[in-house]
Amino acid sequence: MTIAQHRDRLDAQLAFVVEIDKLKRVIRRNTLIDGSRRENDAEHSWQLGVWALVMAEHAPAGTDIDRVVRMLLVHDIVEIDAGDTFIYDRVAVEAQEAAERAAADRIFGLLPSDQAGPLRELWDEFEARQTPEARYAKALDRLAPIMANHHNDGGTWALYKVTASQVLANVAIIEEGSPTLGAYAHDLVETSVLRGHLAR
C-alpha cells in the first residue's frame, strides 16, 4: 500500500469517526434510569455493550459475547439519519426499516470496504435476529427501556399511555434471547402494574 493509499484509508476511517459522533445528539424517548433526563443513542449503545459483558452468563451457552458487544456498539448508528423510532408508534415502526437500511448503506459506506462489510453484517445480523448473538443483543436492547421505566415510576409508559400487553410483546423478544432475562422483565412489568405505574 502506498503512502497515498494509507492516507486515503485513514481519511475514510476518520470520516466515519466524525460521522458517528452525531449519535451523541440523537435523543431517545426513554430517560436515564434515575429519570433525570432523556438518554442519547451513544449512551444507550455503550451501556448495552457493558450489560452484555456483565450479564454474559444469561446468554445461551456458546454465545460469542465479543460479537454481541460489537453488534451493540453499532446497532443504533443508523439512527443518525433515521432518528429514534418509538417502539409503540406503529406508523413510525412501519417506515423504520427502509429508512434504517438507507442509513446503513450511507454511514457504513464511509469506511474502507474491508471494514464497511463486517460492520454492516453485524448490523444486518442484529436486525434479522437469526443467531443466538443477535437474539441476546436484541434482548438487552428491549430490556433497557423496561428497566428505565420501572425505576422511574412508569416513565414513558405513563407519558404515552402504554399498556402492559404492549410491553409484554417486547418481553417475548427478550425471552427469545435469554429466558432468564425474559422472566426478570416479566416480573418488572407485573410489579409496575401492581404499583400503578403501568396500565393493565
**Does 11 have pLDDT greater than 90?**
yes
Torsion of CA 112, 73, 76, 188, to 10 degrees: 170
Least confident of 44-48, 49-53, 88-92: 88-92
Beta bridge partners of 27: 40
**Does 119 have pLDDT greater than 90?**
yes
Domains in the chain (CATH in brackets) are 3-194 (1.10.3210.10)
pLDDT of residue 61: 97
**Does 51 have pLDDT greater than 90?**
yes
Query: How confident is the model over 81-106, as pLDDT tens digits?
Result: 999 998 888 888 888 999 999 999 99
**Does 72 have pLDDT greater than 90?**
yes
- Region of residue 162 (phi > 0: left; psi between -120 and 50: alpha; otherwise: beta): beta
The average confidence (pLDDT) of the chain is 96
When pLDDT is averaged across residues 45-70 and rounded to a whole number, the result is 98
pLDDT of residue 1: 85
Where does the chain show beta strands of DSSP type E?
27-31, 38-40
* Confidence at 109, pLDDT banded by 50, 70, 90: very high
Q: Are 137 and 50 in contact (CB under 8 A)?
A: no
**Does 112 have pLDDT greater than 90?**
yes
